[in-house]
Amino acid sequence: MKKMLLCALCCLLVCIGCSTTEPTIEMELLPPSRMEFLIKYNQKELYATIEKREDKNVDVFLLFHGTVQSDSNIIEAANTTLNNFSKIIQRNDLYMISVAYPQENLLFGDNIEYAEAALLWVKNNAEKELGITINKIFLGGHSQGGYIVTRLNTMHTTDGVIANAPGPLNLVYRCSLEENGTIQPGAVCAKLRNEYGTTSQNPSAYFNRSLLNFTDKYLADILFVQGLNDAPIQMYSWPTFKQEVQQCSDCKKVEILEIPGGGHPSMFNDSLGINAVKDFINKR
């Protein structure tokens, strides 16, 4: 009996010692159609969850999640984004790749380099590493993910981009509200303030990272979806953003869908948004 108890205690100690802090998903928790993948490109590494298809001749839908408080949550966020998009559109020839891009230890906007690495990996390496043939590449993003895909659309050509409730639209406005105590302070503005000073001291540094600074030179058709009952910070700058992208003279086709009464995630739960995503992807 003593030997049995000692053996059990040893096994327990071994189990406790085997825990890991790496931001990975246990593979047995993923549906059979999904796999976790480590993307390596341009000296950047980031995880992604891939919704596989039986077809090997495919289009790719590269997805980007919204803001998280900690990088320990980015894989969960990537999976949530994948779930939301996969509920909208299911095609046997459409690979969905949801990217867990970092946020926590970077100035807002600097993670575009990681997002770009993921896109260039799809363009240049994914066929060989995944054993597929890629016909078209689409980008999709929600919230900060919408910000990411909009910026990527000024950098690299794809076959179409979808951005739901993209933002932050105006960091000058948002961070000034934190500075005067109107809203609770957050990590995004705190990091920018430590780097550049306040919005009154250096407004251009904040504006340069705002989505309002990226309203032209879109290289692919883009669909913006915006619920009109989103947060006041978003809706304060939305009319300006909408007007500027509609007036763009050097953009591919810009489509804007506003959802009356829709909130921040309305593209995923409103029939107008769902049908718009399906039409945008299937018609290209």
Question: Does the bond joining 168 to the residue before it have cis omega, within 30 degrees of 0?
Answer: yes
Residues 242 and 129 placed together within one structural domain of the fold: yes
Half-sphere exposure of 32 (CA within 13 A, CB side): 1
Task: Give pTM, 2 decimals.
Answer: 0.88
Residues 149 and 199 placed together within one structural domain of the fold: no
Run of H or E including 140:
strand 133-142
Cα–Cα dist 104/60, whole Å: 27
Domain containing residue 190: 171-209
Question: Does the bond joining 265 to the residue before it have cis omega, within 30 degrees of 0?
Answer: no
Q: Is residue 270 part of a domain?
A: yes
User: Position 5: which residue type?
Assistant: L
Kindly report, residue by residue over 175-210, the tens digit of the pLDDT. Answer: 999 999 999 999 999 999 999 999 999 999 999 999
User: Position 38: which residue type?
Assistant: L
Residues 198 and 252 placed together within one structural domain of the fold: no
Q: Is residue 21 part of a domain?
A: no
Residues 197 and 272 placed together within one structural domain of the fold: no
Residues 72 and 202 placed together within one structural domain of the fold: no
Kindly report, residue by residue over 20-67, the tens digit of the pLDDT. Answer: 333 333 333 456 789 999 999 999 999 999 998 889 999 999 999 999
Residues 74 and 114 placed together within one structural domain of the fold: yes
Q: Would you say residue 270 has pLDDT above 90? A: yes
Res 30: pLDDT: 58
Q: Is residue 105 part of a domain?
A: yes
Residues 82 and 124 placed together within one structural domain of the fold: yes
Residues 121 and 53 placed together within one structural domain of the fold: yes
Residues 139 and 237 placed together within one structural domain of the fold: yes
Residues 58 and 106 placed together within one structural domain of the fold: yes
Residues 175 and 238 placed together within one structural domain of the fold: no
Q: Would you say residue 174 has pLDDT above 80? A: yes
Q: How many domains does the chain have?
A: 2
